[in-house]
Structure 1
Amino acid sequence: MRAHLPRARWLWPLLVVALVAAGTLGWFLLRGAASEAVAAKYAPLVRTLQFSARVATLSRVEVGSTVTARVDQVLVREGEQVRTDQPLVKLESEELQAALAQAVATEKQAEATLTAARAELERTEALVAQGFLSASRRDDAQRAVDVARAQRQAGIAAISAARARLTQMVITAPAPARVLSRHVEPGQIVQPGKALLGLALSGPTQIVAQVDERFLEQLRVGQKAAVMADAFAGQRLAATIISIAPEVDAQRGAVEVKFSLDQPPPAFLREDMTLSAEVETARRDRALVLPARGLRTGATGEAMLVAEGRRAVERPVRTGLRTLDAVEVVSGVREGELVLLSPTLKPGARVRTQLVEWQPSRSPQGRGAGGNADPVSGITEAMGR
């Protein structure tokens, strides 16, 4: 009997440890698993698309000379705004001016000859009527008048031709435009067919973007947008979608979208300048907004886990507007209820909620490298802006 006492003495500590462990395990089981939770609340929800765009030139023309000549003056610089018929380039024209002066002198001589021939015809007709001259003399006088008239007309035509050639020596703007490029300098010999200046004809400024076809369903004509140049980040320009191309570029998987500015373009805007565009594609002024990661697949479709007391209860939900990480819950969750975010939590499990502050992020998707990369498109969202 005494031999068994030491063994019993060791059993008591083991029993105490087992009881403590069982109590601790029971406490943890009753306490429940920890899970982040967000309180459902109403707030504005905005969905936007972000992508790169560029300033489009409605019409670009190149002007040049129609004759071979030496350049006398270049009257404009790159970037300068010009008006219709404003001189751009002057070619040397001394020889043509001399030819015009000679043509004018020839025409004056022909005019004098015609005047004298008409006077002679009048005298001849009077003498023929009186019987002093024969009718053949009147015919000769008439032929002299006809010849003089033809010479005068030839002189007038020569003047017109000389003036037309002189006009070609001044290259003018065909319409209001901005000078984009200049390829000529004074003293240079120019020939027909060679472009001397590149012009962008004035017109309504348009913004053109190549948008990934995945986002085509979100875009509509008339949607408002904001555009911004990287070099002038503090100046956002309001714009509106005016057209969406009816076909998709198969090689790039993109669709062309055009915008018009809602106000006169600022001076810093340049043709082909790269811009960042943001289009508001959907808005809810008041929506029950929750994190999209709280959604799960339930027995009948989409569902969320809601904390009821210390239990996680699965609720079927109906959703509306979605963004990258936010979702509008139309039904299934009420304002103020705690939505559980733990992906491993099971319906019916005991839960210990950890309330967190949450708002949608603004992390664009599809941003690519610059240069000749594929069209860059993205989707962002904001709540409560």
Structure 2
Amino acid sequence: MSWPGRAAAMALLATLLAACGSEQPPQAEGRPVGVVTVEAGQFSDDIQLSGEIQAKKDVGLAFRIGGRVLERPVNVGDRVKAGQVIARLEPALEQNALAAAQAALTAARGEVGTARNSFERQERLMAQGFTTRPRFDQALRAQETAQAQLENAEAQLELARDRLGFTELRTDVAGVVTERRIEPGEVVQPGQVVVQIARDDGRDAVFNVPAAVLDNHLADARIRVVLADAREVSAQGTVREVAPQADPVTRTFEVRVGLQDPPEAMRLGSTVIGRIELTTAAIVAIPASALTQQGRAPAVWIVDPDKSTVSLRSVDVLRFDPGKVILSQGLEPGEIIVSAGIQALHPGQRVTRLPERRPSPRQQAAASALPP
């Protein structure tokens, strides 16, 4: 081969070698893994308790005076109206006292008239100089005494009338009689409760709640109350009162839930079930398949979105639920973690992310729906 032909062949070979050197070797494919994007949410814990319907306020009615019960025209379960007679005492003593007070008032009025006439006569004589000063002063004091006795007699008459009126026990509230404590013929003392009335101005659902539940934000919880034998009958309520001391036997605390517009079917004494939804602050829930270990500590694989490599990070587990793990810390919203294919991964390994599988709108609605 001539020298020009040999030079051309060498130039062509050099060009081919240069072209081959400029090509980059193909990058290896990453390990296919399933991934999820971390999202923050609120964790709801539902607690169901059994209780009963009670009146928001109970009123115990009692006589202001003592005596023998003549009649009690109401029984347990009767509905009463404001002003209705609940019981009566024998009024003979009070009637006699009223008659005596009326007689004393009549006598006091006569004494006042006599004393006034005597004073007026002494006053005229004093002006004419025909009487002494002591007699005038005596007539004045007699008139003042008679007037005071008249006022006392009037007060005694009013007191006697009141005591006669107290022989009838009337209710000043509307409601239902829940308890009777006396029977006709019994002698009662002043202030002794005769009947108990549940007022009509509200109803409570009363539950015995363990102390562990009280540690949560129970006052802010949403409470749904349903009848135990008719779950379709329901009402919403909020915590109105929590007992400051535990029951000595059950070691539970009485919690009264004020019901908002309770239906008529929720009668006093009905057994109800209260569903308390306790909501925590923002937390992170991940699929249970994403959890692995770093030594003895729980951990997850974090995907670097720029380099498509993985790294292992320790997390703190709040609780385990079927199919998911609730974390208290360790992940931030927006981070990408491996949820499938965590076996045989190692730090810095390149991965290929498979498309995320998100729940359908129907599944999301079903997950967020509150059970009855």
Report Cα offsets for 1:29-57 as digits up to 9, x if no partner: xxxxxxxxxx9999998542222234455
Q: Displacement of 1:159 after TM fit?
A: 0.7
Q: Does 1:383 align with 2:367?
A: yes
Structure-2 residue corresponding to 1:191: 188
The amino acid across from 2:79 in the alignment is: E
The amino acid across from 1:276 in the alignment is: I
Report Cα offsets for 1:270-294 as digits up to 9, x if no partner: 5554321112224899x9775x6x5
Select which of 147, 150, 172 maps to 1:149.
147
Alpha-carbon separation, structure 2, partners of 1:253 and 1:128: 86
Matched-pair contact (CA < 8 Å) for 1:53–1:274 = yes
Q: Displacement of 1:96 after TM fit?
A: 1.9
Structure-2 residue corresponding to 1:207: 205
Alpha-carbon separation, structure 1, partners of 2:123 and 2:322: 106
Structure-2 residue corresponding to 1:379: none
Alpha-carbon separation, structure 1, partners of 2:251 and 2:96: 63
Task: Pick closer, same or farther for the CA change 1:214–1:77 going to 2, 3 Å.
Answer: closer
Select which of 291, 298, 308 maps to 2:293.
298
Report Cα offsets for 1:110-165 as digits up to 9, x if no partner: 21331232123212321332244444553453354244324323422321331232
Alpha-carbon separation, structure 2, partners of 1:121 and 1:282: 86
Matched-pair contact (CA < 8 Å) for 1:53–1:276 = yes
Alpha-carbon separation, structure 2, partners of 1:64 and 1:145: 43
Structure-1 residue corresponding to 2:77: 78
Task: Pick closer, same or farther for the CA change 1:45–1:159 going to 2, 3 Å.
Answer: closer
| RMSD of aligned residue pairs (Cα, Å) | 4.6
4+ aligned runs moved over 6 Å, structure 1:
39-45, 243-251, 315-321
Partner of 1:266: helix, strand, or coil? coil
Alpha-carbon separation, structure 2, partners of 1:140 and 1:196: 54
Matched-pair contact (CA < 8 Å) for 2:51–2:208 = yes
Structure-2 residue corresponding to 1:266: 263
Alpha-carbon separation, structure 2, partners of 1:72 and 1:255: 40
Q: Displacement of 1:225 after TM fit?
A: 1.6
Alpha-carbon separation, structure 1, partners of 2:206 and 2:79: 23
Task: Pick closer, same or farther for the CA change 1:71–1:191 going to 2, 3 Å.
Answer: same
Matched-pair contact (CA < 8 Å) for 2:101–2:160 = yes
Q: Does 1:112 align with 2:128?
A: no
Matched-pair contact (CA < 8 Å) for 1:221–1:244 = no
**Matched residues, number:** 293
Select which of 124, 127, 133 maps to 1:126.
124
Give structure 2 stretches of 5+ with no counterpart.
1-34, 302-311, 345-358, 360-365
Partner of 1:161: helix, strand, or coil? helix
Q: Does 1:332 align with 2:337?
A: yes
Q: Displacement of 1:197 after TM fit?
A: 0.8
Q: Does 1:88 align with 2:72?
A: no
Alpha-carbon separation, structure 2, partners of 1:248 and 1:104: 57
Q: Displacement of 1:89 after TM fit?
A: 1.7
The amino acid across from 1:267 in the alignment is: E
The amino acid across from 1:48 in the alignment is: D
**TM-score, normalisation: structure 1:** 0.58
The amino acid across from 2:73 in the alignment is: V
Report Cα offsets for 1:285-321 as digits up to 9, x if no partner: 9x9775x6x577534544799xxxxxxxxx9896988
Task: Pick closer, same or farther for the CA change 1:200–1:384 going to 2, 3 Å.
Answer: closer
Structure-2 residue corresponding to 1:375: none
Select which of 160, 163, 168 maps to 1:162.
160
Alpha-carbon separation, structure 2, partners of 1:64 and 1:179: 14
Matched-pair contact (CA < 8 Å) for 2:55–2:202 = no
Alpha-carbon separation, structure 1, partners of 2:107 and 2:221: 72
Report Cα offsets for 1:322-368 as digits up to 9, x if no partner: 6752425775345xx699xxxxxxx57xxxxxxxxx9xxxxxxxxxx
Select which of 256, 277, 280 maps to 2:277.
280
Alpha-carbon separation, structure 2, partners of 1:242 and 1:223: 12
Alpha-carbon separation, structure 1, partners of 2:254 and 2:176: 25
Report Cα offsets for 1:51-93 as digits up to 9, x if no partner: 223445565453333312232453575353554x654222232
Partner of 2:232: helix, strand, or coil? coil
Partner of 2:219: helix, strand, or coil? coil
Structure-2 residue corresponding to 1:64: 62
Identity %: 22
Matched-pair contact (CA < 8 Å) for 1:44–1:384 = no
